[in-house]
Amino acid sequence: MAAGSWAGRVPWVKEARHLSSAGLGVALMGAAVGGLIAAPLAAWLIARFGSRGMTRIGGITMAVSVSLIAFAPALPTIFVALVLFGATGGVLDVAMNANGVVVQERYGRSIMSGLHGIWSIGGLTGSGLAGLAASAGMGAPTHLLIVGIALGVVSLVSGFWLIPAPRAAAGKVFAIPDRGLVLLGAVIFCGLFAEAAAADWSAVYLHTATNAPQDVAAWGYAAFSLAMAGARLLGDRLVERVGSTRLVRAAALTGAAGLAVGLLVPVTAVVIVAFAVLGIGMATVVPLTFSAAGRTPGHDPGTAVAAVATVGYAGWLLAPPIIGFVAQGTSLTVALTLVTVMTALIAVPAGALRAARD
Between CA 231 and CA 31 the distance in angstroms is 26
Between CA 11 and CA 212 the distance in angstroms is 11
Assess if residue 200 is contained within a domain: yes
Q: Which of 204, 214, 226, 38 is nearest to 143 (CA)?
A: 214
Contacts of 329 (CB under 8 A, 6+ apart): none
pLDDT at 304: 81
pLDDT at 170: 44
Q: Which domain holds residue 191?
A: 2-160+177-357
Give DSSP secondary structure letters for 269-322: HHHHHHHHHHHHHHTTHHHHHHHHHHT-TTS-HHHHHHHHHHHHHHHHHHHHHH
176, exposed or middle or buried, with CB in 10 Å at 0-12, 13-18, 19+?
exposed
Assess if residue 60 is contained within a domain: yes
CA 121 vs. chain centroid, Å, equals 12
Assess if residue 165 is contained within a domain: no
The answer to whether residues 9 and 134 touch, using CB atoms and an 8 Å cutoff, is yes
pLDDT at 274: 95
Assess if residue 171 is contained within a domain: no
- Number of structural domains found in the chain: 1
pLDDT at 35: 81
pLDDT at 107: 87
Residues 221/28/122/73 CA torsion (nearest 10 deg): -110
Assess if residue 283 is contained within a domain: yes
CA 223 vs. chain centroid, Å, equals 15
CATH number at residue 97: 1.20.1250.20
Contacts of 189 (CB under 8 A, 6+ apart): 311, 312, 314, 315
Assess if residue 169 is contained within a domain: no
**Residues of the chain where predicted confidence (pLDDT) is lower than 50:** 170-171, 357-358
Assess if residue 166 is contained within a domain: no
The pTM assigned to this predicted structure is: 0.77
Between CA 178 and CA 292 the distance in angstroms is 14
Assess if residue 226 is contained within a domain: yes
